[in-house]
Amino acid sequence: MWALADEWLDERQTIGRGISANTESAYRRDLTAWAWRIAELKSGGSDEHHPAPLGFQEELGRLHIGDLHADNVKRALASLAREEYAPASRARMLASLRGFCGWLSQEGHLAADPTARLENPRPAERMPVAFLSSELEAIVRTVSEADPGARPPRPKRDRALVAVLAGAGLRASECAGLRVADVVREAEPYLRVIGKGNKERRVPVAPEVVDAIDGYLDPETGERGEHHPTDPLFVARAGKPYTRESLNYHVVRWLARAGVRKPEGESAHAFRHTYAKGLVARGVPISSVQKLLGHASLNTTEIYLRMTAAELHDAARAAEVRDFLRATAPAKSRD
């Protein structure tokens, strides 16, 4: 089974722009998790029982093609729900298995796709968390000063990072993946960004964002050190490029220093929400916001419309006249 999964992933790499390394890793993790659950259902506590998943090859090697039938898949999906996996996680994992099983069916390895009749779990909509203007100001002021706990402090790098995150709305992985040459200084400067699915987009940025980056890159007064166009734009210790995890670590430090509460479930991504919310609040067309954020579907972007509308509704409810109207309202009839 693992050889078939490898063949499917190889084919995914040949379609269009292919898939990123992160996407392939996610597919492998999801298929490993599915294989483990289905194999555990099959073993039923026999000597083949494993309390935790093994590797990709080991877990998929425990399955035969006949094990991928609708009943097993349905029971494995139910086990994810009982283990309190979030609906969004279950939906993503089902999408991975659906892609693999669809390919197996098309190639003649399966008589029927066992995922065809399954409905996607519907996650409860959670509004994005954005920073208030006062919080964003506090963060910018904080990172523009040396961190007394850092060895060595690098305020120009931190300021440039905040400028890119909040001024271009990049995902943490996109920010970490920027190269020096991706900062394009024309009459209308922009960042060349490689997003999900290896899709490239151009994100216009304000001159102040470029100024912050240039302050970090300056060969005489900056903190980047010697660099070439193909080098990572942002580097951590020993010249290593940032990862999403290391970037989130820095964000948590910034928020603590600035006295800003960390949004639940968010770190660097909260800057992306702040950027998008600001665009919508200023009347930028939602289709333009979609392109700037690199969303494949307009439905994903429209949550910022609902977010802004909800905040306007809350603001209206807080209008001072409500107190006066409440105090002078006639008594309601009891008939």
- Of 98-102, 273-277, 315-319, the range with the lowest mean pLDDT is 315-319
- Of 94-103, 163-172, 229-238, 324-333, the range with the lowest mean pLDDT is 324-333
Whole-number pLDDT of residue 271: 94
Whole-number pLDDT of residue 318: 47
Residues of the domain holding 20: 2-106
The answer to whether residue 113 is domain-embedded is no
Residues 156 and 64 in one domain: no
- For the segment 62-106, what is each residue's pLDDT rounded down to a tens digit? 999 999 999 999 999 999 888 888 888 888 999 999 999 999 999
Whole-number pLDDT of residue 48: 54
The answer to whether residue 126 is domain-embedded is no
The answer to whether residue 224 is domain-embedded is yes
Tokens of 190: 């922009």
In this prediction, residue 144 has a pLDDT band, given cuts at 50, 70 and 90, of very high
Q: Of 71, 91, 106, which residue sits at a domain end?
A: 106
Residues 53 and 177 in one domain: no
- For the segment 146-179, what is each residue's pLDDT rounded down to a tens digit? 999 888 899 999 999 999 999 999 999 999 999 9
Q: Which of 86, 14, 82, 26 shows the shortest CA–CA distance to 56?
A: 26
Residues 228 and 171 in one domain: yes
Tell me the C-alpha distance between 159 and 234, whole Å.
12
Whole-number pLDDT of residue 151: 83
Residues 56 and 100 in one domain: yes
Residues 138 and 280 in one domain: yes
In this prediction, residue 315 has a pLDDT band, given cuts at 50, 70 and 90, of very low
Residues 172 and 276 in one domain: yes
Residues 144 and 102 in one domain: no
Whole-number pLDDT of residue 335: 47
Radius of gyration of the chain (CA): 25
The answer to whether residue 254 is domain-embedded is yes
CATH of the domain at 243: 1.10.443.10
Residues 162 and 85 in one domain: no
Residues 75 and 168 in one domain: no
Active-site residue list: 171, 196, 269, 272, 295, 304
The answer to whether residue 118 is domain-embedded is no
Q: Domain tally for the chain?
A: 2
Q: What is the mean pLDDT of residues 117-127?
A: 73
Q: What percentage of the chain has pLDDT greater than the value 90?
A: 50
The answer to whether residue 209 is domain-embedded is yes
Residues 65 and 213 in one domain: no
Residues 153 and 188 in one domain: yes
Whole-number pLDDT of residue 226: 87
Q: What percentage of the chain has pLDDT greater than the value 70?
A: 87
- Of 123-137, 199-213, 248-262, 313-327, the range with the lowest mean pLDDT is 313-327
User: Looking at the predicted structure, is the pLDDT value of residue 52 above 80?
Assistant: no
Residues 140 and 32 in one domain: no
The answer to whether residue 324 is domain-embedded is no
